[in-house]
Structure 1
Amino acid sequence: MLELVEFAWHDCYGDITPSENVVEDILTCSQGDLAQMIRLARLAVEDWRDLRMTADEIRSAENGRGTGGLAC
């Protein structure tokens, strides 16, 4: 699945691979659910900023500072 993300990322953005942060955001938001990971991989290619906001919200919630607004 991540290899397909790399292919799509290259076609869309011209970079060989997405940044480590984008991959980490996919993994953070998927929380171990493969179907969710696939959906998020597509979101990462379509608009990685939406993925980043959601991942940051999850990280904040895990650290006790979440607002409870976004969900993957």
Structure 2
Amino acid sequence: MAIGSMQRRDERKSRIAQEFRARDVETVLDLLHLTDMAWHDCYGPHQLEIPPDVLDDVLLLARGDLARLVRLSLAAVQDFRDLRVAADEQRAAAL
């Protein structure tokens, strides 16, 4: 479990490298850092980062597209429930 933002970044890097183009990896990690800060601002002092299940939904729906990731990250912070439904539908369709 990561304690600080740099540890979270390091933990996420290999996954992001698998899902996004090499040239976008650092940018995606920067965006996720901003998303963590926004999540913390919106959901309180004990929520230091976007929850892992919400991050899973965002990354699944982004499908390796940086522009989609930006829009989905904003939507996740505003209200992640619609993303959850969309991600669950996509997972069910893949079965």
TM-score normalised to structure 2 length = 0.64
Between the aligned residues of both structures, percent identity stands at 48
Aligned residues: 63
Q: Deviation per CA, 1:2-52: give whole Å up to 9, x if none.
A: 001000000000111121001100100001111001100000000011111
Structure 1: runs of 5 or more not aligned: 64-72
CA distance in 1, matches of 2:73, 2:41: 14
TM-score normalised to structure 1 length = 0.84
Q: Which has the larger radius of gyration?
A: 2
* Paired AA for residue 9 in structure 1: W
CA distance in 2, matches of 1:50, 1:4: 21
The structure with higher relative contact order (CA 8 Å, sep 6+) is 1
- Residue number in structure 1 paired with 2:40: 10
Q: Where is the helix percentage greater, Structure 1 or Structure 2?
A: 2
Structure 2: runs of 5 or more not aligned: 1-30
SS at match of 1:43: helix
* Paired AA for residue 28 in structure 1: L
* Paired AA for residue 62 in structure 1: A
